[in-house]
Amino acid sequence: MKYVDEFRDGSLARLIADRIRREAPADRRYNLMEFCGGHTHAISRYGVADLLPASVDMIHGPGCPVCVLPIGRIDNAIALAKEQGVILCTYADTMRVPASNGVSLSRAKAQGADIRMVYSAADALRIAQETAAREVVFFAIGFETTTPPTAVVIREADRLGLGNFSVFCNHVVTPAAMSAILEPPPQVRDGGSVWIDGFVGPAHVSCVIGSRPYEYFARTYQRPIVIAGFEPLDVMQAVLMLVRQLNEGRHEVENEYARAVTREGNLTAQQLVAEVFELRSSFEWRGLGEVPDSALAIRQRFARFDAERRYGIVYRPVPDNRVCECGAILRGARKPVECKVFGTVCTPENPLGSCMVSSEGACAAYYTYGRFRLKAAAPAAV
Amino acid sequence: MSQTKGIYGRRLDFRQGRIEMAHGAGGRAMAQLIDELFVAAFDNEWLRLLNDQARFAVRAGRMVMATDSHVVSPLFFPGGDIGSLSVHGTVNDVAMSGARPLYLAASFILEEGFPLADLKRIVESMAAAARTAEVAVVTGDTKVVERGKGDGVFITTTGVGVVPEGVEISAERAQPGDAVILSGTIGDHGVAIMSFRENLSFETSIRSDTASLHGLVAAMVQKVPGIHCLRDPTRGGLATTLNEFARQSRVGIRIAERAIPVQPEVSAACEFLGLDPLYVANEGKLVAICTAQDAPALLEAMRAHPLGRDAAVIGVVTEDPHQFVQMQTSLGGSRMVDWLTGEQLPRIC
């Protein structure tokens, strides 16, 4: 497949791996966080870790939209479908995330709630147009990648004067979360933290916001960031670039994903988002707790499409399951296998925490692609 | 069928007509549907007797029996329809024992209001698929459910066949050291169906690979009667079939990503839909496991058959108490190929 296979080429991978091995000496540690779940997925799916030397440790970040969504927000969405009787349109990833009382969107659907999986925000808008007699709510989640399409449908609903469509907005922003990783809010500091030397920066998010927003971060926290595409060779090249920056004592924003990302990003998308959304003063993230200026709300001008206003949604924080380590895993403070319930009580079929649900979640990636490594030395389970 | 005209008055209107509750009620309307559609299309000596069962001589040897329900949506898709699929699905299940399929039974659950024109198209497609597979549809059943209680048409087929002496194909027979052979490209059926889903339509030249594999199996069994395992990787795709083999035989399997044939269009579609071709359904492919010594001969026999042209050795059976399926990625790393979690594509067959 053109423009894809080139970025999965085994001989090129060996070449980059050799360079990383030469330049990252065994007596030094390189703790590198890939912020995005897309990178976590690529590393696991293509076996990138097998090609990296032991001195490079990839730490998985919170950039999995489904994983960071707190339970209370999913409870709100379920209540919309069950109590308000709306047609709730959602991306498929969110369906199986455990909410309060053992319910999930998937279970609520089986119990009779009208919850529909959509592939895009535009599908939700179409359902609203075709079902004029019913209220339709789009459960909007995601980072800067999915925000512009949500802005588009809100503007379109406004243009069409749709009276039965609204958006339950849970869009979050990346730079604030990266700061929260290095400077965790007080309430989560006790849960442990990890030293991070550098970041593999987001791919698709950066297409929208550009590389400029990370410059302040690199300067302030003195950490190198290399923006990388989601293909395995992108990740490996970014690791090499980070190793070189660290070896040379630099902390700059570099762009490995130059085929898609510019310094300024997609200005049209940014303007669209600015027109429809404004920053929330604070938003709860699973794992990071309340993070200031880290999420978006719908502007007053589009208030009638805001499900939170329309249905008077009240957010109630719900603590994670006590034994679930999703919070620490999302901060990179723990590895999935260090969680007591990983692979025993918590599996993709019966997830306890969100990181085991989404294919971008670190636990799901470990379980689905990497379980054989953990069992290699252990006796067989009977 | 001209003799039926007098009994029913006007013939069924296959252009404008629709299924009514009476077509499943056991009365004259049902008899007319059976006569003018099913018996006419499947025409054979057993069906013509209009009994509630078919009586046929049992051959010497061992019989094989399999059943399969079909609920695919949409009913018509590039490369096939629910009719041909319902024949191929069961014929292949019978054939995967090494058997020659002989007879089919077909049950239809029809929804009130379903266009007779569509039903006729489906039944004629079934009849054509059965002729190609050299099986006779010898008995059947028709039920009608109220509008809104079904989704057009559901078809269940049951097949019987005869397996030659000396052939002992079963999923628990894989041994460490055995070769794993795949008959061709994966993911074609699933992607063809996805491209036609109303909420997801996209343009692709991919057609479903739906086909009866009995001919390919016959050629394989003739060349290598000692094949250990055969299975068609339908729902859940290649990954699921390999995990089933590993569990049933209590072995591990190690495959090479590079060796697995995937059409570029299927790769591309999977790429933008976020699917892994290893988990996408096939309806005209099989996976075979045989000894390493038998592998070259089996591969040659498969490649000589039109449905096995792209056959390839994709991996090897290993000793593994954890029964893991592992894959060497084209990048050079390793990963597991786990059981499918949840549902990837609903109503694919």
pLDDT average per 10 residues of sequence, chain A (382 residues): 86 96 96 95 94 96 92 97 96 90 93 93 96 97 96 98 98 92 72 86 97 95 97 97 98 97 98 98 92 96 98 93 89 91 91 88 92 59 36
Residue of chain B nearest A3, judged by CA positions: B268
Domain membership flag for residue A180: no
Using CB atoms within 10 A of its CB, is residue B267 exposed (0-12), middle (13-18) or buried (19+)?
A: middle
Whole-angstrom distance, CA of residue A158 vs CA of residue B104: 57
What is the mean predicted confidence (pLDDT) over B58-70?
Answer: 91
User: Do A281 and A305 sit in the same domain of this protein?
Assistant: yes
> Given pLDDT bands bounded at 50, 70 and 90, which one contains residue B275?
confident
User: Do A170 and A72 sit in the same domain of this protein?
Assistant: yes
Q: Are B101 and B133 in contact (CB under 8 A)?
A: yes
User: Do A39 and A83 sit in the same domain of this protein?
Assistant: no
Q: Are A172 and A296 in contact (CB under 8 A)?
A: yes
Position A187 scores a pLDDT of 65
Whole-angstrom distance, CA of residue B53 vs CA of residue B230: 31
Nearest to B264 among A1, A46, A375 (CB): A1
Domain membership flag for residue A153: yes
Q: Is B332 close to A118, i.e. CB distance below 8 A?
A: no
Count the domains in chain A: 3
Whole-angstrom distance, CA of residue A377 vs CA of residue A316: 44
Question: Mutation test of the interface with chain A: which of B240, B335, B339, choosing the one with the most A Cβ atoms within 10 A?
Answer: B335
Whole-angstrom distance, CA of residue B215 vs CA of residue B219: 6
Position A3 scores a pLDDT of 79
Domain membership flag for residue A138: yes
Amino acid of residue B170: S
Domain membership flag for residue A183: no
Amino acid of residue A350: N
Question: What is the SS3 assignment for B53?
Answer: coil
Domain membership flag for residue A381: no
User: Do A249 and A271 sit in the same domain of this protein?
Assistant: no
Amino acid of residue B129: A
Q: Is B332 close to A50, i.e. CB distance below 8 A?
A: yes
User: Do A250 and A203 sit in the same domain of this protein?
Assistant: yes
Residue of chain B nearest A46, judged by CA positions: B329
Which two structure tokens, joined as six digits, stand for A151? Answer: 């802005």
Position A233 scores a pLDDT of 97
User: Do A58 and A71 sit in the same domain of this protein?
Assistant: no
What is the mean predicted confidence (pLDDT) over B9-32?
Answer: 92
Question: Mutation test of the interface with chain B: which of A9, A21, A46, choosing the one with the most B Cβ atoms within 10 A?
Answer: A46
List, in sequence order, every residue forming a beta bridge with A200; answer none if it has no partner. A34, A226
Nearest to B331 among A47, A367, A370 (CB): A47
Note whether A25 contacts B: Cβ–Cβ < 8 A: no
Which helix (H) or strand (E) segment is B254 a member of?
strand B252-256
Q: Is A381 close to B322, i.e. CB distance below 8 A?
A: yes
Length of chain B: 349
Closest CA to A360 of A51, A43, A21, A84: A43
Position B252 scores a pLDDT of 98
Cis peptide before B74 (omega within 30 of 0): yes
User: Do A115 and A141 sit in the same domain of this protein?
Assistant: yes
Q: In B138-157, which positions are buried (b, 16+ CB within 10 angstroms) versus exposed (e)? A: bbbebebbeeeebebbbbbb
Domain membership flag for residue A189: no
Whole-angstrom distance, CA of residue B247 vs CA of residue B311: 24
Final residue of a domain: which of A232, A255, A278? A255
How many CA within 13 A on the CB side of residue B184? 26
End-to-end CA distance of chain B: 33
Q: Left, alpha or beta for A142 (phi > 0: left; psi -120 to 50: alpha)? A: left
| Helical packing angle, A147-160 and A121-130, nearest 10° | 20
B80 to B57, B83, B209, B344: CA distances (angstroms): 32, 8, 8, 21
Domains and their CATH numbers in chain B: 2-163 (3.30.1330.10), 179-336 (3.90.650.10)
Which two structure tokens, joined as six digits, stand for A275? Answer: 């027109």
User: Do A18 and A109 sit in the same domain of this protein?
Assistant: no
Give me the torsion for CA of A210, A215, A220, A223, rounded to 10°: 90
Nearest to A372 among B200, B267, B322 (CB): B322
Position A379 scores a pLDDT of 42
Nearest to B335 among A359, A364, A369 (CB): A369
Position B96 scores a pLDDT of 98
Domain membership flag for residue A185: no
Position A382 scores a pLDDT of 33
Please report residues of B whose CB lies closer than 8 A to that of A349: 341-342
pLDDT exceeds 70 at position B204: yes
Q: Angle at the Cα of A124 (from A123 to A125), degrees rounded to 5? A: 90
Task: Please give the full DSSP string across B147-186, using - where no structure is assigned.
Answer: TTSS-SEEEEEEEEEEEPTT----TT---TT-EEEE-S-S
Considering only A42-56, B165-179, B334-348, which range has the smallest mean pLDDT?
A: B334-348
Nearest to B199 among A4, A119, A348 (CB): A119
User: Do A98 and A221 sit in the same domain of this protein?
Assistant: no
Among A residues 264-303, those touching chain B with beta carbons less than 8 Å apart: none
User: Do A277 and A165 sit in the same domain of this protein?
Assistant: yes
Question: Could you read off the pLDDT of B286-318 as tens digits, one per residue?
Answer: 999 999 999 999 999 999 999 999 999 999 999
Position A378 scores a pLDDT of 43
Considering only A200-204, B83-87, B191-195, which range has the smallest mean pLDDT?
A: B191-195
A100 to A169, A317, B281: CA distances (angstroms): 20, 11, 35
Residue A112's contacts (CB-CB under 8 Å, 6 or more residues apart) are none
Note whether A348 contacts B: Cβ–Cβ < 8 A: yes
Closest CA to B220 of B162, B283, B307, B317: B307
> Higher-confidence residue: A147 or B348?
A147
Q: Which domain holds residue A200?
A: 5-62+194-255
Whole-angstrom distance, CA of residue A103 vs CA of residue A100: 6
CA B290 to chain centre: 22
User: Do A128 and A100 sit in the same domain of this protein?
Assistant: yes
Domain membership flag for residue A382: no
Question: Could you read off the pLDDT of B145-162 as tens digits, one per residue?
Answer: 999 999 999 999 999 999
User: Do A82 and A212 sit in the same domain of this protein?
Assistant: no
Which two structure tokens, joined as six digits, stand for B246? Answer: 């590993």
Q: Assign residue A95 the CATH number of its domain.
A: 3.40.50.11740
Position B5 scores a pLDDT of 54
What is the mean predicted confidence (pLDDT) over B188-211?
Answer: 84
Position B59 scores a pLDDT of 78
pLDDT exceeds 70 at position B143: yes
Q: Assign residue A207 the CATH number of its domain.
A: 3.40.50.11750
Q: How far is B319 from chain A (nearest CA, A)?
A: 12
